[in-house]
Structure 1
Amino acid sequence: MLGLNQTDSDLNVIISQKLPNYEIIEEIGHGTYGKVFLSRFKVNGDHRAIKYIQYSSNPALQQQIHKEIIIHKALKHVNIIQVFEVADLPPVCTLLVMELASGGELFDRIEPDVGLEEQLTHFYFFQLIRAVEYLHGQGVCHRDLKPENILLDVDGNLKLTDFGFSTIFRHQNKRRMLETACGTPVYMAPEVMKRYYDGEQVDLWSAGIILYVLLVGNTPWEEPTERDKDFAKFIREGPCGLVEGSWQNLSNEVKDLLCNILRFDPKERFTLSKIKNHPWFQQSNPLLSPKGLCANPEQLAMKFVKHIKSSPIDYIMDLNDDESRQVFPALSQPDPLYKFSQDISMKEISFSQPYDITPGNRHSQPLLPPLSANTPGQKYNWFMRYFSCHRLTRFYSKSHETVILKKLKDILQSLLVQFKVNGSKITFSTVDKHKCPLNGEISILKASNDVRIVVYKRNKGDPLEFKRFYKMFIEHVRDLIIENNCN
Structure 2
Amino acid sequence: MADTAIANQENIKPESLDKPNKPSSGDDQHFRIIRTLGEGAYGEVLLVTDKKNTNLMAAMKVMNLQHSKIAERECKKERVIQQQLTDAGNHPNIIHFIGYRVDGTLMRLFIEYADGGELFDQIEPEKGVESTWKARHYFRQLMEGVKFIHQQGICHRDIKPENLFLTKSDVLKIGDFGLATLFFYDNKERILTMPCGTRPYASPELMNKSYRAQPTDIWSCGIVLVAMLSGELPWQAPDRAEESFRVWIDGEKGIEKKNPWSKMERQALFLLKWILNDNEKTRATVDQILTHPWCTERETIASLTTNNTSRPNAKRHKGNNDDSPVGLFSQPLHSHRGIATSPIARGDVDMAAASRVAFSQPATIESLLLSESQMSQSQRLEGWDALSKLARRMTRFCVTTDVDLTTQKVLSVCQAHGVTVHYKTPTEMVGTQRDVSFIVTIYQMSTIHDDDLVMVDFRRSRGDGLEFKRIFHQLRSDFSPIICEMGTNWLEQHGLTKSQMPPPS
Corresponding residue for residue 69 of structure 1:
79
**1:274-296 per-position Cα deviation (integer Å, ceiling 9, x unaligned):** 2122111222333333773449x
Q: Matches of 2:24 and 2:254 in 1, distance apart? A: 55
Q: CA deviation at 1:127?
A: 0.8
Paired residues of 1:183 and 1:341 also in contact (CA < 8 A):
no
* CA displacement 1:299-352 (0-9 Å, x = unmatched): xxxxxxxxxxxxxxxxxxxxxxxxxxxxxxxxxxxxx9842232356645899x
Q: 1:34 to 1:237 in 2, by over 3 A?
A: closer
SS of the residue aligned with 2:306? Answer: coil
1:121 aligns with 2:105: no
**Residue 287 of structure 1 is aligned with which of 297, 301, 315?**
301
- Give me the whole-angstrom Cα distance separating, in 1, the residues matched to 2:23 and 2:291: 50
Q: Give the structure 2 partner of residue 366 of structure 1.
A: 385
Question: 1:144 offset after TM fit, Å?
Answer: 0.2
Equivalent position of 2:26 in the other structure: 20
One-letter identity of the residue aligned with 2:190 = R
The structure 1 residue matched to 2:258, chosen from 244, 249, 262, is 244
The answer for the alignment partner of 1:131 in structure 2 is 145
Matched with 2:462 is 460
Aligned residue for 1:196?
A: 210
1:426 equivalenced with 2:429 (yes/no): yes
| Counterpart contact for 2:191–2:213, Cα < 8 Å | yes
- Whole-angstrom distance in 1 between the partners of 2:52 and 2:487: 42
Instruction: Give the structure 2 partner of residue 298 of structure 1.
Output: none
Q: Which residue of structure 2 lines up, in the alignment, with residue 271 of structure 1?
A: 285
Quote how far apart the aligned CAs of 1:236 are: 4.0
Q: Hey, what's the Cα distance between the residues in 2 that align with 1:201 and 1:458?
A: 29
Partner of 1:478: 480
Contact 2:430 2:437 in 1 (8 A): no
The reply on whether 1:440 has 2:436 as its aligned counterpart is: no
Unaligned runs of 5+ in 1: 1-14, 296-335, 371-383
The separation in 2 between residues aligned to 1:40 and 1:483, in whole angstroms, is: 35
Shift of 1:170: 1.4
The 3-state SS of whatever aligns with 2:393 is helix
For the residues of structure 2 that align with 1:242 and 1:459, how far apart are their CA atoms?
A: 35
Residue 152 of structure 1 is matched in structure 2 by 166
Deviation per CA, 1:239-267: give whole Å up to 9, x if none: 98255356445332111101111112222
Residue 353 of structure 2: aligned partner: none
Greater Cα offset, 184-193 or 104-113: 104-113
1:228-243 pair list within 5 angstroms: 228-237=242-251, 241-242=255-256
CA deviation digits over 1:373-400, x for unaligned, max 9?
Answer: xxxxxxxxxxx9xxx73354324234x6
Look up the equivalent residue of 2:475 and give its one-letter code. F
Indicate how the Cα distance of structure 1 residues 36 and 395 shifts in structure 2: closer, same or farther if over 3 A, else same: closer
Which of 100, 107, 127 matches 2:120? 107
Distance in 2, matches of 1:46 and 1:286, equals 30
Equivalences, count = 408
**TM-score when normalising by structure 1:** 0.73
TM-score by length of 2: 0.70
CA distance in 1, matches of 2:251, 2:56: 52
CA distance in structure 1 between the aligned counterparts of 2:45 and 2:138, rounded to whole angstroms = 30
Query: Aligned ranges for residues 327-346 of structure 1 at < 5 Å?
Result: 338-342=315-319, 343-344=327-328
Structure 1: distance between partners of 2:488 and 2:132: 27
Question: Quick one: structure 1 residues 18 and 247, their matched pair in 2 at CA, closer, same or farther if it must change by over 3 Å?
Answer: same
Q: Output the amino acid matched with 2:202.
A: M
CA deviations over 1:20-52 (Å, ceiling 9, x no partner): 368212253375646635132979973223333
Shift of the 62–239 alpha-carbon distance from structure 1 to 2, 3 Å rule, reads farther
Structure 2: which 5+ residue stretches go unaligned?
Answer: 1-20, 320-326, 340-358, 360-368, 490-505
Note the aligned Cα RMSD (angstroms). Answer: 3.7
Between 445-454 and 19-28, report the one with greater CA deviation.
Answer: 445-454
Distance (Å, rounded) in 1 between the aligned partners of 2:206 and 2:167: 31
Change (3 A) 1:36 1:240: farther
1:269/1:28 Cα in 2 relative to 1: closer, same or farther (>3 Å)? same
Structural mapping, 1:251-270, within 5 Å: 251-270=265-284
Q: Indicate if the aligned counterparts of 1:27 and 1:35 stay in contact, CA closer than 8 A.
A: no
**Whole-Å Cα distance in 1 between the matches of residues 55 and 246 of structure 2?**
53
Higher relative contact order (CA 8 A, sep 6+): 2
Q: In the alignment, is the contact (CA less than 8 A) between 1:240 and 1:259 conserved in 2?
A: no
Which range moves more in the overlay, 448-457 or 266-275?
A: 448-457
Secondary structure of residue in 1 paired with 2:303? coil
Residue aligning to 2:221: 207
The answer for the alignment partner of 1:412 in structure 2 is 414
Output the amino acid matched with 1:441: V
User: What secondary structure, in the 3-state scheme, does the structure 2 residue paired with 1:71 have?
Assistant: helix
Q: Shift of residue 163 of structure 1?
A: 0.8
Q: Do 1:112 and 1:218's aligned partners in 2 also have CA atoms closer than 8 Å?
A: yes
Segment of structure 1 superposing worse, 470-479 or 250-259: 470-479
Secondary structure (helix, strand or coil) at the match of 2:48 reads strand
Paired residue secondary structure (2:226)? helix
Distance 1:28 1:231, change over 3 A: same
Task: Give the equivalent residue in structure 2 for 1:216.
Answer: 230
Contact 2:179-2:196 within 8 A present in 1 as well: yes
- CA contact 1:243–1:255 (8 Å) conserved in 2: no
Contact 2:159–2:217 (CA<8 Å) still a contact in 1? yes
* Paired position in structure 2 for 1:98: 111
Q: Contact (CA 8 Å) 1:38, 1:47: kept in 2 or not?
A: yes
Secondary structure at the residue paired with 1:419?
strand
What's the offset of the Cα at 1:171? 1.3
**Measured at CA, do residues 188 and 245 of structure 1 come closer, stay the same or move farther in structure 2, by a change above 3 Å?**
closer
The answer to whether the Cα contact below 8 Å between 1:180 and 1:341 also exists between their aligned partners in 2 is no
The one-letter amino acid paired with 1:95 is R
**Deviation per residue, 1:139-170 (Å, 9 max, x gap):** 11100000011112342211101111111111
Matched-pair contact (CA < 8 Å) for 2:48–2:57: yes
Question: What is the distance in 2 between the residues matched to 1:73 and 1:420?
Answer: 38
